[in-house]
Amino acid sequence: MAAYIFRRLLLVVPTLFGIILINFAVVQFAPGGPVEQMLAELRGEGQTLGRLTGEGPGEVRAPSGAQQGGGASTAAAPVGTYRGARGLDPAIVAEIERSFGFDKPAHVRFFEMMRGYLTFDFGRSLFRDQPVVDLVLQKMPVSISLGLWSTLIIYLVSIPLGIRKAVQDGTRFDVWTSGVVLVGYAVPGFLFAILLVVLFAGGSFLQWFPLRGLTSSGAEAWPFWRQALDYAWHMVLPTLALVIGGFAGLTMLTKNAFLDEIGKQYVVTARAKGNSESRILYGHVFRNAMLLIIAGFPAAFIGLLFTGALLVEIVFSLDGLGLLGFEAAIRRDYPIMFGTLYIFTLLGLILQIVGDVMYTIVDPRIDFEARR
């Protein structure tokens, strides 16, 4: 197993390089780059993101003389081809390009960026003028909290529910729970988030839960137990919104996996030998059926951690990685875009290896070393 893990870790490097390279190449052809956005700000034609993020046009500025280091971004066009540069002094345009690091050829900027990434140097944000690593570390606790608790609760709810639906397939319990699962699958999580705000966060009915952030004002001075309760109180509604929108798929996957295993010949043989149903279900079927569910864990966790929580973060005013990535995409803040892409991809690849290790824990008969 150690040799297999080592080979998979070696494959992480070219895979990560290829993903970054493809995205870097695609961005070269995307209009509205950071230089164009800065020129639009200078001409008073800035986008509306400042109103979304609380920043006015005067508060968004280029990092004067900032060196992008490993986080150097991609350019949209060479000097003189920006439509927003009409009527502006070419020297101003050239200075903005130099400040953003776009005065270098694309291939030079790419290899400088990758050299910095080897040491986790992602440069500085173009419009926030802060190191990307610091921004990610600031937002990480929010996204980790949402992703971790949501994934944990989804698995704790979906697996037992899916097993019971498989055992009682076709019964009244299976029918009405399928209706609940269908609603959870059809309605997006952010709509549930809005409904929860309306019902329980002071929207139109009750105000049982807070609407903003993960902690109350002044919570730093409280004792630990009170801080923990305050944190849990703030996490209830956003976590519930993600759980309601995410448990449906895993529940049906669990049910179908168990139904498929229950119908196999080894189950019939186990019954013929006089084994109890619980022994058959948890001693034989469970181990085989759970393999498919474990295979989907890395994707489910990454999805909830970095993408599924975006709109939920916006609804509940949670300043996490999802909101950071969204703002970076709108502003074309390439150091943040590529830095977070690098981190998310690396984490996803590592979690896939962890999923393979979990295979062998659930079913020791699986031997990746024997595969050629």
User: What's the CA gap between 46 and 53, in Å, rounded?
Assistant: 13
Token pair for 28: 């070269």
Do residues 62 and 148 both lie within one domain? no
Do residues 112 and 220 both lie within one domain? no
What are the distances in angstroms from CA 134 to CA 122, 225, 340? 10, 28, 12
Residue 32: pLDDT above 70?
no
Contact 334, 122 (CB under 8 A): no
Amino acid at the residue 176: W
pLDDT at 271: 84
Asked if residue 36 is part of any domain, the answer here is: yes
> What is the average pLDDT score of the chain?
76
Q: How confident is the model at residue 48 (pLDDT cuts 50, 70, 90)?
A: very low
Residue 190: pLDDT above 80?
no
pLDDT at 88: 59
Amino acid at the residue 63: P
pLDDT in tens, 127-184: 787 888 888 888 888 888 888 888 888 888 888 898 889 888 888 998 998 888 888 8
Tell me what percent of the residues of the chain surpass a pLDDT of 70: 76
DSSP at 304: I
Asked if residue 240 is part of any domain, the answer here is: yes
Do residues 214 and 274 both lie within one domain? yes
Residue 54: pLDDT above 50?
no
Tell me what percent of the residues of the chain surpass a pLDDT of 90: 1
pLDDT in tens, 338-371: 888 888 888 888 888 887 777 777 667 766 666 5
Last residue of a domain, one of 101, 130, 159: 130
User: What's the CA gap between 339 and 132, in Å, rounded?
Assistant: 7
Total tally of structural domains belonging to the chain = 2
Do residues 151 and 300 both lie within one domain? yes
Domain containing residue 310: 133-331
pLDDT in tens, 285-332: 887 787 777 766 766 777 666 665 677 877 887 888 877 877 888 878
Task: Tell me which residue of 156, 186, 174 sits closest to 249, measured CA to CA.
Answer: 186
Amino acid at the residue 166: A
Last residue of a domain, one of 130, 152, 186: 130
Angle (CA) 33 35 36, round 5°: 65
Do residues 163 and 247 both lie within one domain? yes
pLDDT in tens, 269-288: 888 888 887 888 887 788 77
Furthest C-alpha separation in the chain: 88
Residue 52: pLDDT above 60?
no
Asked if residue 342 is part of any domain, the answer here is: no
Residue 60: pLDDT above 50?
no
Do residues 182 and 39 both lie within one domain? no
Do residues 176 and 221 both lie within one domain? yes
Do residues 145 and 231 both lie within one domain? yes
Q: Find the CATH number of the domain harbouring 235.
A: 1.10.3720.10
